[in-house]
Amino acid sequence: MRFSSRTGWPLDPNRLSELVRDRRERGVPILDLTESNPTRCGFTIDAEEILAPLGDRRALTYQPDPRGLLTAREAVAQYYSERGIQLNPDQIFLTTSTSEAYSFVFRLLANPGDSILAPQPSYPLFDFLGGLNDVQILPYPLVYDGGWQVDLDALASRRESRCRAVLVVHPNNPTGSYVHERELARMVEICCRSQAALIADEVFADYAFTADPDRVRSHAQTSAALTFTLSGLSKILALPQMKLAWIVVNGPPELQKNAQARLEVIADTYLSVSAPVALATPRWLAQRRAIQSQILERVQSNLRKLDELLARGLPAQAALPVSRLKVEGGWYTILRVPSTRSDEDWAAELLTQESVLVHPGHFYDFPSEGFLVLSLLPPPGSFEEALRRVISRICAQS
């Protein structure tokens, strides 16, 4: 039996996952600072309001529509309208997840071996999504200088004849950095010059910590280049299990029309969104602020706690060997730690000696050592206890 080469992944567990498995098997508790499943972080949801809409009797009739049921697309258009962006429901295609949306867009734009430029560091799933769709994901750097920004010159020089799209994550996971108007203008220019599309992942867009007029409001209003804006309920409602996401198509009119016609065939081939979920979407989206306010409160108060612990320091040390990078929004924060050892060694030591799990930077493709990534979602008590252990261990070892 032979399998496709695109599935030839190294499947052996890595050192960190083996250590985690070993501790779990022995029943040793772990303070998990990688927890990013919002349904396990103690937020209050109105169960009745989430589950009752799934009983809509209209779901008993099959009404296939390649773009997804109109009522759900109108609710998505309403979501954007509340953010000051007017969309026609025809521009919106529903999918079961953002991951599926990526696959549709990659299939629409790229032939086998074509490439898509993606930020580095960023979301680890891109390489898998690229591989599964026979597309090469090529990194372009984000650089940190008191704040993250796109290295636009590096991005421009990365462009090559087989590049089909530039991908942005707004705000990026895990850097929490948004795309700014100046960066977007240059990216659109790069895309137009090379006949490449722009793909914008906005799943965390509602989780900004402060307002910033220079920040792009949404790529769903970018029309100078063919643009695909992706988002969905996994972060907007913190309900990844409900499986609803979407693609918004924008661009120069003729290009947009062609893209939509082709995307319609791809979507029609799968017809993947379930009717009960689509019918529940208008009521669900209307309640998003109830969960979003809890999450924003949690991530910001955890961030304040982190700053407080870092500011307090240790009596014997003038400056701590650990600090955090600036973050504008999202669910994560990044610690700068000494690169005297690898990030994976730090993560292994924190797990075995302090029972705290963190992600080493290389998980998100940081180009150098010296970074640990933490989720800001865990409940405040365990977050604080885990951080105390992380900071004192790094101080003691530096």
Ligand X SMILES: Cc1ncc(COP(=O)(O)O)c(C=O)c1O
Among 92, 108, 137, 169, binds ligand X (CB under 6 A): 169
Instruction: Tell me which residue has tokens 């969309």.
Output: 87
129 sits near ligand X (criterion: CB under 6 A): no
**Span near ligand X by CB under 6 A; candidates 57-65, 94-102, 206-214, 220-228:** 94-102
Q: Which is nearer to ligand X, 288 or 388 (CB)?
A: 288
299 sits near ligand X (criterion: CB under 6 A): no
Instruction: Tell me which residue has tokens 């970074």.
Output: 371
Identify the sign of the CA torsion 343, 348, 351, 353: negative
218 sits near ligand X (criterion: CB under 6 A): no
240 sits near ligand X (criterion: CB under 6 A): yes
Q: Which is nearer to ligand X, 121 or 251 (CB)?
A: 121
The 10 Å Cβ neighbour count of residue 15 is 13
**Span near ligand X by CB under 6 A; candidates 97-105, 133-141, 205-213, 256-264:** 97-105
Both structure tokens of 109: 């734009």
175 sits near ligand X (criterion: CB under 6 A): no
φ/ψ of 360, rounded to 5, equals -70, 150
Minimal distance, residue 157 CB to ligand X, in Å: 25
328 sits near ligand X (criterion: CB under 6 A): no
272 sits near ligand X (criterion: CB under 6 A): no
For residue 270, CA distances in Å to 66, 100, 266 come to 8, 10, 7
Both structure tokens of 48: 């009745």
CA gap 375, 302 in Å, rounded: 10
Minimal distance, residue 180 CB to ligand X, in Å: 18
CA gap 231, 218 in Å, rounded: 11
130 sits near ligand X (criterion: CB under 6 A): no
Q: Which is nearer to ligand X, 124 or 379 (CB)?
A: 124
Q: Which is nearer to ligand X, 98 or 281 (CB)?
A: 98
CA gap 25, 65 in Å, rounded: 47
Minimal distance, residue 259 CB to ligand X, in Å: 21
133 sits near ligand X (criterion: CB under 6 A): no
347 sits near ligand X (criterion: CB under 6 A): no
Question: Please, which contacts does 252-260 make with residues 24 or more away whose CB atoms are closer than 8 Å?
Answer: 252/223, 252/224, 252/225, 252/226, 255/226, 256/91, 256/223, 256/226, 259/108, 259/197, 259/226, 259/228, 260/90, 260/91
Minimal distance, residue 173 CB to ligand X, in Å: 4
State the DSSP H helix or E strand holding residue 373, giving kind and residue range, or none if neither.
strand 371-375
Question: Which residue(s) pair with 262 in the sheet?
Answer: none
Q: Which is nearer to ligand X, 178 or 391 (CB)?
A: 178
**Span near ligand X by CB under 6 A; candidates 42-50, 59-67, 91-99, 153-161:** 91-99
123 sits near ligand X (criterion: CB under 6 A): yes
Q: Which is nearer to ligand X, 96 or 382 (CB)?
A: 96
Question: Angle between the 15-25 and 343-354 helix axes, to the nearest 10 degrees?
Answer: 10
97 sits near ligand X (criterion: CB under 6 A): yes
281 sits near ligand X (criterion: CB under 6 A): no
CA gap 5, 387 in Å, rounded: 42
Minimal distance, residue 35 CB to ligand X, in Å: 12
Please give the residue ranges that form the binding site for ligand X (CB under 6 A). 97-99, 123, 169, 173, 201, 203, 232, 234, 240, 245
